[in-house]
Amino acid sequence: MSSQQASGAVLPGTAASTVVVEVLVFRVLLPDGLAYRRLSRELHAGRRPDDVARGLLGLSEHATAHLLHSTSWRHEPADRVILTYACCPDPRPELPAVPLRTPAPARSAAPAAPSPEELTTGHVAAHAARHFAFLQHTDPIAHRVIASVPGLGDALARWSPATAGQLPAAARPAGRRP
């Protein structure tokens, strides 16, 4: 990587991508499901993505009742790079939210083309829910926050705590092993 690339400068003949911070905010949907809402804001020069995510939520850096975790990134048309965070519990549960369904896994069409042809917010939210399910078992701080939210641990139990890229048997193509 050249020093120009490392410094964030745009190389001659190239265009800069717009970076957007997205936060998927989760809440328990009784009896045992999850719902989410989506917040987003462009990342401007000099701002840290974590700070923008907290700002969208109205959380301080020292908040202890909410779990904020960086889950993924993706490139969208019009040269937008989306950095996705997930948060639970929702600090504004009175606002509308979408029930989280289990979408079919998003897959690419070719081995050297890793971006799926269709990727919805539902796919990204399902991926984030799997992150929380994994963190519930592997991260003591995440476990404490999740355990403090009534019903959240049970709702996350419906999601595979497998690491990214490792699918539960029901979601794998027939006859495939991890």
| Dist. CA 80–CA 119, nearest whole Å | 14
> Cα separation of 100 and 113, whole Å?
27
Q: What is the pLDDT of residue 174?
A: 52
Written as one string, the DSSP assignment of 15-45 is -PPEEEEEEEEEEEETTTEEEEEEEEEEPPT
Preceding peptide of 103 cis, ω within 30°: no
**Each residue of 85-108: pLDDT tens digit?**
999 999 999 999 999 998 777 888
Q: Is 86 helix (H, G, I), strand (E, B) or coil?
A: strand
Per-residue pLDDT at 168 = 54
- The pLDDT value recorded for residue 13 is 58
Residue 170: predicted pLDDT: 54
Distance (Å, whole) CA 30 – CA 73: 29
* pLDDT score for 3: 37
Fold classification of 16-102+115-162 is Nucleoside Triphosphate Pyrophosphohydrolase (3.90.79)
Query: Which residue positions in the chain have pLDDT lower than 70?
Result: 1-15, 162-178
Task: Domain ranges for the chain, please list them.
Answer: 16-102+115-162
Helices in 58-139 by DSSP H: which ranges? 121-138
Instruction: State the pLDDT at residue 6.
Output: 40
> What is the pTM (predicted TM-score) of this model?
0.83
